[in-house]
Structures are given as C-alpha cells and as structure tokens.
C-alpha cells in the first residue's frame, strides 16, 4: 500500500480529527494527554492557514496510536498525521501549567503549548517555514529586545553551542515582524 500523499490540514479539520480520536477511544480508562506545538498549534489559533501534521511534545501511548492509524487509513492521511516527533525538541524551560486547554474529553485532553515555547522551538530548527512562523508569533510575545530572545533560547537549549551570529539572526526575525531594537 502506498503512503498517503502529504496534504495539508486546516484548523477545522485538525479539530474534527482530534474529536474523532477522542470519540473512538473506549469510554473508560485514563485520560490521555497531547500537547500541541508547531504549525498545528498556529493553525488551531488562527495564525496559520494549514499544516501538514499535528505535533505533540508528549509521548503518544499505544491506545492512541491505534486510533490515529485507523483514522489515517480511513481518511487517506499519512500515518504520522498526529505524532510525537516534537518531543525530542521540548525546551528545558517548558512548564506544563503554562499550557492552555484546547480540547477536553473524558479520555483525551489536548493542551496548547505557550507561543513563547513554540517560538523558541522554531528557532531551534529555523527553516524557512519556521522563520515565517516566528515572524507571525513575535508580536504576541513579551520580549523587550533581541538579547532576551537569545538568552531564552540558550536557557531552553543549554546543550547548544553559542553562535556569535545568533543575535543578528534574532534581530532579522524581529525586523521582519515589524520590530526595531536599538
């Protein structure tokens, strides 16, 4: 069987798919947790039109994986349409209580990571799509200057080697977002 082509998901479809996952779980048992980040969170919050997948920084248990796979097959989605690949990039500064509840069901709770954490995560990879997302996120953050962003990044990822050009990169993102720092 050929894998489904990568297609995009919009806010409504993401929300419907999450509700479908919850609705397919057996009625009793522990409540599972997803912590949405990345482009899917931006789409959920209306900051992006679409995304290719839904990323969670919380490990997805086997029961959810079975349901996710069944939905993927039935809806002709990629098997990783909902995944936990982002868990490897969770910032050291991430705090669960800072998350917002996006969806609540007796068997599934979906939280949205703070945009500050998503911004920092996007800086870690910083491909063109991430840079475009950072420009959209920047106005919603409380950074007063580029150095605060640089400090937050290295605090979140203390294992990363200091890059002397990183502050310049941050200033460039701020400028693209319409902010100038002296």
Q: What percent of the chain has pLDDT over 70?
A: 96
9-38 tens-digit pLDDT: 999 999 999 999 999 999 999 999 999 999
% pLDDT > 90, the chain: 94
Task: Indicate yes or no: pTM above 0.85.
Answer: yes
* Angle of CA points 47, 51, 56, to nearest 5°: 95
Distance between CA 125 and CA 132 in Å, rounded? 12
Whole-number pLDDT of residue 5? 58
pLDDT of residue 7: 86
Q: Report which secondary-structure segment, H or E, holds 35.
A: strand 32-37
C-beta atoms surrounding 105 within 10 Å: 15
The stretches in the chain having pLDDT less than 50 are: 1-4
Could you tell me where the DSSP H helices lie in the chain? 11-24, 38-44, 62-75, 115-125, 128-137, 146-156, 166-176
Cα 82 to Cα 3: distance, rounded to the nearest angstrom: 15
State the pLDDT at residue 176. 96
Q: Please give the pLDDT value at position 1.
A: 45
């Amino acid at each position: 069987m050929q894998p489904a082509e990568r297609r995009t998901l919009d806010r409504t479809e993401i929300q419907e798919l999450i509700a479908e996952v919850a609705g397919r779980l057996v009625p009793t048992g522990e409540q599972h947790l997803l912590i949405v980040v990345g482009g899917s969170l931006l789409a959920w919050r209306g900051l992006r039109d679409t995304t290719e997948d839904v990323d969670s920084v919380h490990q997805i248990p086997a029961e959810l994986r079975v349901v996710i796979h069944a939905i993927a097959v039935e809806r002709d989605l990629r098997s990783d349409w909902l995944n936990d690949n982002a868990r490897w990039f969770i910032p050291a500064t991430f705090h669960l209580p800072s998350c917002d509840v996006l969806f609540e069901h007796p068997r599934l709770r979906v939280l949205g990571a703070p945009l500050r954490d998503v911004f920092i995560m996007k800086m870690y990879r910083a491909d063109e799509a991430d840079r475009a997302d950072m420009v959209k996120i920047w106005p919603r953050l409380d950074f007063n200057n580029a150095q605060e962003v640089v400090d937050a990044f290295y605090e979140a990822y203390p294992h990363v080697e200091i890059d002397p050009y990183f502050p310049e990169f941050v200033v460039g993102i701020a400028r693209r977002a319409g902010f100038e720092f002296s």
